[in-house]
């Protein structure tokens, strides 16, 4: 096996195989994040990628960049309230939402399509933000008949 030349990345300061990167002074990972060059499909063994020799550490600068990227991907959900401070939960066609409870009754699995999960999220957010203290709670299914299993979600703030 021929020796591969090892460089130090200017950005993350990790060693990397020179021939694994398209850039002179950057490991394939940093070259990918900063300049869009093709990344190595890293395969880590004992703390280093066996393909490019990168040590898996990123610079603070790159960490911040990635954090910003993730922020951009953030999706928001908002809920409106009527004059009685009840959350407004419009139902859309083909909303599906149901749940399963494990046999030992220790796990609840919530299953829904996008509309169903968003409805659930809005119901939860609506309950979290309501000022009502009169025992008001939401029966999602009762209101909307959105699962055929005859199951019922109740959301209550306490
Ligand atoms: Zn690097
Ligand atoms: Zn790699």
- Residues with CB in 5 Å of ion ligand 1: 9, 11-12, 27, 30
pTM here? Answer: 0.54
- Assign 21 to helix, strand or coil: coil
Task: In whole angstroms, give the CA distance from residue 35 to residue 26.
Answer: 10
Q: How far is the CA of 108 from the centre of ligand 1 (A)?
A: 43
Measured from the alpha carbon of residue 32, the closest ligand is: 1
User: What ligand has the least distance to the C-alpha of 8?
Assistant: 1
Residues 49, 72: Cα–Cα separation, whole Å: 29
pLDDT digit string (tens) for the chain, length 158 residues: 568 999 999 999 999 999 999 999 999 999 999 999 999 999 999 999 999 999 999 999 988 888 888 777 777 888 999 988 889 888 888 888 888 999 999 999 999 999 989 999 999 999 999 988 888 888 887 656 777 777 888 899 88
Q: How far apart are CA 16 and CA 96, in angstroms?
A: 49
> Ligand 1 center to residue 62 CA distance, Å?
9
Q: Which segments of 49-113 does DSSP mark as H helices, in order?
A: 60-72
Report yes or no: 125 and 116 within 8 Å, Cβ to Cβ: no
In 20-136 the beta strands, taken as DSSP E runs, fall at 44-45, 48-49, 80-81, 87-88, 97-101, 108-112
Take residue 42 and report the two structure tokens written for it.
């890293």
Structural tokens at position 148 = 């055929």
Report residues near ion ligand 2: CB below 5 Å.
Answer: 40, 42, 49, 51-52, 54
Domain boundaries, the chain: 6-72, 80-156
Q: How far is the CA of 2 from the centre of ligand 1 (A)?
A: 23
């Amino acid at each position: 096996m021929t020796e591969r030349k090892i460089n130090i990345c200017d950005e993350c300061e990790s060693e990397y195989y020179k021939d694994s990167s398209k850039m002179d002074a950057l490991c394939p990972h940093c070259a990918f994040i900063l300049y869009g060059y093709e990344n190595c499909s890293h395969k880590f063994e004992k703390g280093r990628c066996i393909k490019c020799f990168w040590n898996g550490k990123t610079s603070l600068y790159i960490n911040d960049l990635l954090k910003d990227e993730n922020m951009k991907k953030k999706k928001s959900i908002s809920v409106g309230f009527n004059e009685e401070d009840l959350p407004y939960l419009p139902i859309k066609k083909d909303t599906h939402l149901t749940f399963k409870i494990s046999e030992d009754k220790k796990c609840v699995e919530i299953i829904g399509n996008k509309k169903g999960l968003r409805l659930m999220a809005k119901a939860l957010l609506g309950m979290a933000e309501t000022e009502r203290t009169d025992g008001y709670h939401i029966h999602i299914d009762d209101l909307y008949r959105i699962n055929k299993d005859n199951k019922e979600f109740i959301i209550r703030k306490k």
